[in-house]
Amino acid sequence: MCGIVGYIGDKEVQPILLAGLKRLEYRGYDSSGIAVILPKKNNIGIRKSPGKISVLEKLVKNKPLGGTVGIAHTRWATHGAPTQVNAHPHHDCSGQIAIVHNGIIENYESLKAQLIEEGHAFAGQTDTEVIAHLIEKFYKNIPLEEAVAKALKLLTGSFAIGVVAAREPDKLVGARLGSPLIVGVGKGENFLASDVPAVLGFTKEVVFLDENEIVVLDKDNFKVSNLEGKTIFKETTRINWDIDQAEKSGFDHFMLKEINEQPRILESLINSRIDKETGKIFFKEQNIPETRFKDVKNIFIVACGTAYHAGLVAKYALESVCGISTQIDVSSEFRYRDLLIGPQTLVIAISQSGETADTLAGVREAKRRGSSVISICNVLGSTLTRESDGIIYTHAGPEIGVASTKAYTAQLAALYLFAFYLAQIRDVLPAAKIKKLLDELRKVPKYQVEILKLQKSIATLARRHSHLGSFLYLGRNVNYPSALEGALKLKEISYIPAEGYAAGEMKHGPIALIDEYRAVVCIAPSSKVYEKMVSNIQEIRSRKGRIIAIATEGDKEIKELTREVIYVPKIDEIFSPLLVVLPLQLLAYHIAVKRGCDVDQPRNLAKSVTVE
């Protein structure tokens, strides 16, 4: 996710753009910039810099840009590290056209090669720059919006863009396909933005653009059309959110917003890794030669916290699907062990931030011992990605809530795909079996949408148990990690002691804890270990434990054992962690809210543990 802002009116545009960017900082903050049409010079001035928006503020304070029309961007890098040259806005060869973009252009490499052949000179490594040069190519004796439309028709992927051109200084053009874009309708001024917060300080009247729509703004009017130039009438909506709510898209907390983003993120992540023609899995950015993967004799996963739980699920998938012996350890232990790893070991490092000190140290140790390292990471250009041999990005967008939710399920989906990718290149599974697995994985986003429809009832159930002083989470096999993750979610945002356990361990100690003052969350979707989970639930029931079960739709047996059941759709058990975690996230969220905790910034915690 990135943030786009545009303005056209009579006021000095620089402060308006900066104020808008700061309201969108939650969408991305690794670099930012502004472009302003300089009326006296009939040119465009650009100021941009890596780092947070505060760095840009200092830059433009020292070197201001005077003008009343401009665009701005705060970046969450997807292609091209967060550097000066890769920061937006980008411009064409002449510097007379500037553009900001949110999204991913999937066919940028082929377009870039063709444009270079035609004589265009590129400054950076981003996909966005291609759009600026395409517009330049078509912008001959036709209005800017027509040149933009011609360029956009050549793109595959997702985009929301803002464009200005010195030749038409009283015009601001925007367009969207797959990434959000709104028009802020003012009096004698108009705005373009990725999201409502950027304009809410100036106007409450907005127009939400739909797919394949292009808008031309001047300071008094806006005109929306499709890419063929056919005018489209658009309703104006009056926003009644306050700014704080608007940054969370109307949700009370970033964590709840991010829980609800999961289906969309998984849909995009899964579909962008499977070749539409061949059905084969591919990872463009992973750049480890396939031969290397064929030689791998064992795998070692290294991660912390929630990322470690994702790695535990991956261990089950890698062993059952690829037949590769897989070990895993938390990074803080891995880094100090006498590791029996070497050139035939593939180390998988999992980290949302890519900055976790122990995981970085583990990766350095693994490389020192000659192992190849592939990282599953959400932050492009982070330290981990620069120190790994290969990278698989989760593209989950910035995760603001300290408690990891969307990054976790994105990690899981990436790890499943990677396991199937290894099976595919090591030829250990027939193509038909891989296709069957992928078809099942593709169902996850819509099943998650079904689960999210239960939020009200899950919230009610959570509140019923929010007074309890301790929780136990039980799961088996591929949902033993789900039990650990559910317990971590609860403890880190509600501060209630919560333990995750392999359910088969109950008789080895935890059963002593069971009484009517403790809730036991039993993760029991249909699986080969379902009956074992039922036995555990019966043991807990006979000791008056308060049972909250997560089960598969249609399961009547579980209803006999407890009234507190949250159902998830039926899915191949290997993928059940992608479904059962949503009730666990929501349970933790609503208990913490009920207890008045600071859900997004829990006490004592940081989003990224960059020290030991």
Structure letter (DSSP) for residue 321: I
- 482 contributes a contact to ligand AGP by CB under 6 A: no
How far apart CA 348 and CA 328 sit, in angstroms, is 9
Least gap, CB of 317 to ligand AGP (angstroms): 19
Complex with ligand AGP: residue 377 or 547, whichever CB lies closer: 377
How far apart CA 181 and CA 102 sit, in angstroms, is 9
Complex with ligand AGP: residue 404 or 562, whichever CB lies closer: 404
Least gap, CB of 377 to ligand AGP (angstroms): 8
Complex with ligand AGP: residue 402 or 587, whichever CB lies closer: 402
- 359 contributes a contact to ligand AGP by CB under 6 A: yes
Question: Does residue 134 contact residue 154 with C-beta atoms inside 8 Å?
Answer: yes
Complex with ligand AGP: residue 68 or 356, whichever CB lies closer: 356
Active centre residues (catalytic): 2, 607
In one letter, which amino acid is 355? Answer: E
Strands of 69-75's sheet in order across:
43-50, 31-38, 69-75, 3-8, 190-193, 182-185, 205-208, 237-238
Binding mask 336-355 toward ligand AGP (x if CB under 6 A, else -) reads: ---------------xxx--
Question: Does residue 193 contact residue 24 with C-beta atoms inside 8 Å?
Answer: yes
Binding mask 76-95 toward ligand AGP (x if CB under 6 A, else -) reads: --------------------
- 434 contributes a contact to ligand AGP by CB under 6 A: no
Report the 10 Å Cβ neighbour count for 588. 30
Complex with ligand AGP: residue 96 or 608, whichever CB lies closer: 608
Rg value, the chain, Cα:
26
Q: Which residues, numbered 247-306, are part of the site for ligand AGP (CB under 6 A)? A: 304-306
Least gap, CB of 372 to ligand AGP (angstroms): 20
- 375 contributes a contact to ligand AGP by CB under 6 A: no
Three-state secondary structure call for residue 568 = strand
- 404 contributes a contact to ligand AGP by CB under 6 A: yes
- 382 contributes a contact to ligand AGP by CB under 6 A: no
Structure letter (DSSP) for residue 231: B
- 356 contributes a contact to ligand AGP by CB under 6 A: yes
CA angle in degrees (0–180, nearest 5) for 215-219-223: 25
Q: Which residues, numbered 296-325, are part of the site for ligand AGP (CB under 6 A)? A: 304-307
- Kindly provide the residue ranges of all beta strands, DSSP E only, lying in 432-553, ordered along the sequence: 471-475, 498-502, 519-524, 546-552
- 608 contributes a contact to ligand AGP by CB under 6 A: yes
* Interface stretch with ligand AGP, choices 18-26, 262-270, 397-405, 418-426 (CB under 6 A): 397-405
User: Out of 132, 144, 313, 403, which residue is the one contacting ligand AGP (CB under 6 A)?
Assistant: 403
Strand partners, 6: 71, 192
- 577 contributes a contact to ligand AGP by CB under 6 A: no
* Closest residue by Cα to residue 37 from 162, 137, 142: 162
Report which residue's Cβ sits closest to ligand AGP.
Answer: 305
Strands of 565-568's sheet in order across:
498-502, 471-475, 519-524, 546-552, 565-568
**What residues line the site for ligand AGP (CB under 6 A)?**
304-307, 351-353, 356, 359, 402-404, 492, 608-609
